[in-house]
Each structure stands twice: as structure tokens, then as C-alpha cells.
Amino acid sequence: MKQNIRFSTMLALLLVAVQTALAAAPAGYYNAASGKSDEALMSAMRNIIRDHKQLSYNSLWDAFKTTDTDAQGYIIDMYSNCRYRPSDHGGNASNVGDGFNREHSFPKSWFDDGTPMYTDLFHLYPTDIKVNNQRSNYPFGVCKDGKRLVNGDLHGKGKLGISTYPGYGGTVFEPDDEYKGDFARTYFYMVTCYKNELPSWRGSDQLDYKTNKYKAFSTWSISMLMEWTRLDPVSDKEIKRNDAVYKLQGNRNPFIDHPELAEHIWGNMQGQPWNGSGEPVPASITSPASGSIFDMGTTSIDTPLEYTVTVKGEGLNSGLTLSMADNENYYVNKNYFTAAEAIQGTTFTITFTGESEGTFENALTLSSSEVSTTFTVIATAREGEVPGPGPDPVLGDSITEDWENCVTGGYWNDVVQGHAFVWEFTNAGIWGDNLCHDELVCRLGKTSSSTIAMGEDYEGATSAISFWAGCFGSDADARLNVDYSTDQGATWTTLGAVTATKGSLQHFLLTADVNGPVRYRIAQTAGSRVNIDDITLYKQVQQAVVRGDVDGDSEVTISDVNTVIRIILGNPYDAEVITRADTNQDGEVNIADVDLIIGIITGRITAAHSH
């Protein structure tokens, strides 16, 4: 018995290997889809197969001779047991066996007879006329007590009746079990190849784009079609037909070449990148990388410091638990991530609060029954205020470039319309990525001289610029200069420099006390690909000025009196100081202003605020 089981297993594996070899697409045909998952994978497949030769409707009769005939030259009819010659096609029939015609297995009324769907061989099959008419444009489904057409020894391969599949109660046509997988993979092809057209189709109860978006099918249909493709694997007939259609149309059905693709889009491998082989993706944690060290920076004693870490995995079947060695100075906002969350990519925030001076290391471990990774965070606490690159900016209203709803693509040297500004990209592009705050992010290319620069001026004065940046994938740390220009990009002044690291997006805030019009640039000087998101410009806040505070130090003292006297004596000062020196606001600086300031100092006059 054990020998029989072993032999059966080996035979099954051999059949799969033979099918894979026979169904092999041209080398590199699907390369552009490798590494993608879910809708990105479906879109990549669509881009591969969408452009193909459109056949004429009359040419299908000849096409069927190569795509749908057996070794004896008879038509392979998936709707009946009839033995038709290729010349037995017709238009009308009274009974099963009266001839075959061209069946849109994905009914043409669903896509309003549109082209090139109307003559796409991947869903057009030669079928018995009478059974074809019985099927009409009803959805495929399951009907326990459906009606099967019979004419003596000839009978239909399928039946029409009321659906008994959970989730739907309308009329359906149920094909025989031997072809259910064929039709499931046909349907997967149709909604993938015509992914962009499908939202405008009339549709049917088989489809529900409004609810399930790119997955296209109604929920009950997804469940049923996945059952069909699993129970009826790819046959030799499908493999040969795929190759024959490829010769005529110039494209392939990827769900025949790689039936596991359906699992990645509709089934139990959603969220997992497709590796192009059909082999299971080994469980791994890709972020944080094992051995990574994250420097959170420096903060004052008892002042919290936050850091965001990205969690990303592949091939996970169980959730990840987060543990850490130091639970006194550090805490996290989340310590468990489901397998689906980790595969999609998620984040957690770690917060450090030091009660004494020093540098504190903390070892953290993400683990499951399958995999684990250990990484380190470091933070420093100091007495007093922690010095920064300059005075803390006073943040006013802001405007943010988040790249959402922008055109995506490769790495460009071009003018790009962002969400908030026009930009000039040098070896940079906009991408959909997990390392971002929403759906899209700007990514600098692999060269160390990539830049993104505002292509238009911001008219107001700024107090600061902030952005989030992190290295893409496992790329090395990158150095970024932040520059500004007040002459429409003719010359640039460096405001500061930051270092972006891998694993997560880090937040950078630089004081930018610059009067407009101004434009900013982020220029890479070292490293490789970097994701940049949520670039925010903060407006200057016009602060309240104390009357008599000529020096602008928020105090009214004898120093302000001396400044006014020097202005009266003709010493040069900038316009802002001269404006403040006109304390009584009579349009000139004279001894009356000196008298008013002395009155404020002595308490004879109450100081008031002006703007």
C-alpha cells in the first residue's frame, strides 16, 4: 500500500513537471510580473498580455482547426459529446448534434460586443449550437437539479438551472467537471487582460467590480472559480491550446502557464509576491533585516523620542510576535502582526524615554514558529536641552507634497506634476510601494546624483521644511542635501544634509527661515535608491511685536533707546528695525520715539502689541 502511495505521488509530481515543461512560455515572457502581488501583479500581467493581434470573426473557423481539434481531427466540444468535423459549423439547430458554432464563454453582452474581446480566442470555443443557445448569457455556476439536453446518445456537457452555490440564487449554467478548471482559467484571463476596460462593462451577476474592485468577480464567483481551478488542474488540452492561440494572437493565458497566479490574486496567497516559478515562497522577514541597528537619536532626560520601524515579510503562514530586552526605557505601540499584515508591509512605533543620562541599547526580536530576526535600537538621553542644527522653527500653516494621484512609472529626467507642486526630476520617479505613508512615494534612482527640485516658486516666506525618507529595500545608507533657491533655480544654497537608512521612513525637519519666492531641492550625494514622502513647507508666522522692542529680542530696554538714537543720527539699519523704531507710528523716527520707549521702560506708558 505504501509503495502504491509513493508511486502515485511520484507520478503526480512527474505529470506536473511535464505540464510545466510543455506549457513553458518564451524565456523572460513574465519577468515584468515577478516579485509583485495582488493588484500590482494583475496589472503587470495585463501589461504583458493585453497587446495582441485582433482576429476577424470569420477567421475563427480556421483557427479552431489548430486550437480545438483532437488527434483524429475532430472538434473538441466542451459543451457536448458530439464528434464534429471542422466543416460542421452552422447557425441554427433543433437538437444536440445539429452542428457547432462560436461560443463566447464570457458572454459578449457582458462587454457590450466590444473589441478586441469579441474575437479573443482565449474565451471563444467551438460548441454545440443547441447547448450554446441553452447556456445563453447566464453566469457559470452550480445547479444540483439543472436540465441537461439529450438527443439519443448525444447529450450536452452541462446543465441549466437555479444556482445551489452559496451566495447566489439566480439561473446558472454548470459545465461538466472535466472542464470547470478550463473555464475558470478562461475567466481569470478575461478580467486580467481587460482589467482597464472592465469597469465600464455592462457586466452580469458573475461580476461585481463595484464591491471587489480589481478582483472583478462577485464574491460567490471568486469562491467557486477558485474551487474549480483547484479541483480541475491544467490539462494537456489547455497547454496545447495555449500554445496554438499564442501562434495566432501573439499572447498567452498566464493562468495556464502558471495556474498558481490565481492564488496570488484571488486565493490563499494574496499579499505574497509571485516569484515566477510556482514554487512556494519560503518564509522570511525582509524588514527589519537581521543585525540591523537603528539610531533613534538624542533627547533630553524624561523627554520621549519616537521612531517608526517597518515590518515586512514573505511567505509567512503565521503571525509575528515582537519582544525586546529593555522594557523600562522603551515601549512599543504594537507587539503582534498577523501574517497578512507583515506580507503587505506594516509599521510600529517604538518610544524611548531616559530617566538618566546615557546611551541605551535595546535588542528586539520578531519571531514566529517559522522565522525570526533580531535587530537593535539605540537612543541617548542628556541633561538639559538637546542642541539641534539651529533654533527650533516656529511652524505656521503648511502645504505638503504627498505624491498621491500622480502618474507612476520608471525613473525620469523630466518635469513632473506632483500633488502640490510642479517638480523637476533627475533620475527619479513616483512609485506604489510599501515604504510610504499612503499609496504613492517618490523614489530616487540608483545613481548617487539623483535630485528632485521644485519647478515653480513658493511665493510666501518659509520657516521650515520637513520630509520622510528611507532607503529602498536593502540599499545602503544615502546622503541627501536639502537646498533652496531664491532666483528660480539659477543658484542653490545648501540648507542642511541628512542621512537616510533602510528599514523605515525617518522624519527630518530643517529650519528654513527664507523669504519667498523660494523653491527647494533634495539632492542625493551618496547611496542608492531612496524613498521620499510627505515633503512639507511651513509658512513663517508673523509674530506679535512688543511696542518699543526695536531690537526684536522680546524685551524693551535701554538698548532699544540707543538703537533709535543711532537711527536718528544716520546709522544704517534694515527696514524691519527702522519700522519697529517708529514706535509711535507717525511715519518717521525722531525724539518722540525715544521718549515713548523711555516711558515704557519706566512704566509711565503701557506697552502694547502690534503685528
Give pLDDT tens digits for 352-386: 988 899 999 999 999 998 899 999 999 988 887 55
Q: Where are the beta strands (DSSP E) in 215-279?
A: none
**pLDDT class for 44, splitting at 50, 70, 90?**
very high
The DSSP element (H or E) to which 191 belongs, if any, is: helix 180-193
Q: For the chain, what is the mean pLDDT? A: 87
What's the predicted TM-score (pTM) here? 0.50
User: Per mean pLDDT, which range of 47-61, 383-397, 429-443, 591-605 is the poorest?
Assistant: 383-397
pLDDT at 491: 92
Domain boundaries, the chain: 2-265, 284-382, 398-539, 545-610
CB count in 10 Å sphere of residue 212: 15
**Range from 12-21, 33-42, 50-59, 393-402 carrying the lowest mean pLDDT:** 12-21
Compare 194 and 293 and report the one with higher pLDDT.
194
Contact in structure between 211 and 218 (CB atoms under 8 Å):
yes
Return d(Cα 63, Cα 216) in angstroms, integer. 29
Lowest mean pLDDT among 143-157, 474-488, 539-553: 539-553
> DSSP letters of 336-400?
EE-HHHHHH-EEEEEEE--SSSEEEEEEEEEE-SS-EEEEEEEEEEESSPPP-SSSPP----EEE
> pLDDT band at 587, cuts 50/70/90?
confident
Average pLDDT over residues 120-149: 96
Q: Are 153 and 80 in contact (CB under 8 A)?
A: no
**Mean pLDDT value of segment 558-574:** 85
Q: How many angstroms separate the most distant Cα atoms in the chain? A: 121
Q: Are 99 and 89 in contact (CB under 8 A)?
A: yes
Q: Does 240 score more than 70 pLDDT?
A: yes
CATH of 284-382 given 2.40.50.140, 2.60.40.10, 2.60.40.60, 2.30.30.40: 2.60.40.10
Predicted local distance difference test score (pLDDT) of residue 17: 40
The CATH code for residues 545-610 is: 1.10.1330.10
In this prediction, residue 282 has a pLDDT band, given cuts at 50, 70 and 90, of confident
pLDDT tens digits, 214-230 = 999 999 999 999 999 99
Mention the CATH class of domain 398-539: mainly beta
When pLDDT is averaged across residues 189-213 and rounded to a whole number, the result is 94
Q: Buried (b) or exposed (e) across 4-24, using 16+ Cβ within 10 A?
A: eeeeeeeeeeeeeeebbeebe
Peptide bond into 116 cis (omega under 30): yes
pLDDT of residue 608: 57
Query: If you average pLDDT over residues 479-506, what whole number do you get?
Result: 87
- Spatial separation of the C-alpha atoms in residues 164 and 172, rounded to whole Å: 9
Residues with Cβ < 8 Å from 432, sequence gap 6 or more?
40, 408, 439, 440, 441
pLDDT tens, position by position, 70-86: 999 999 999 999 999 99
Structure confidence at residue 86 (pLDDT): 96
Q: What does the alpha-carbon distance between residue 56 and residue 219 come to, in Å, rounded to a whole number?
A: 34
Query: pLDDT-based confidence at 132, cuts 50/70/90?
Result: very high
- Which residue, 324, 343, 326, is CA-closest to 334? 324
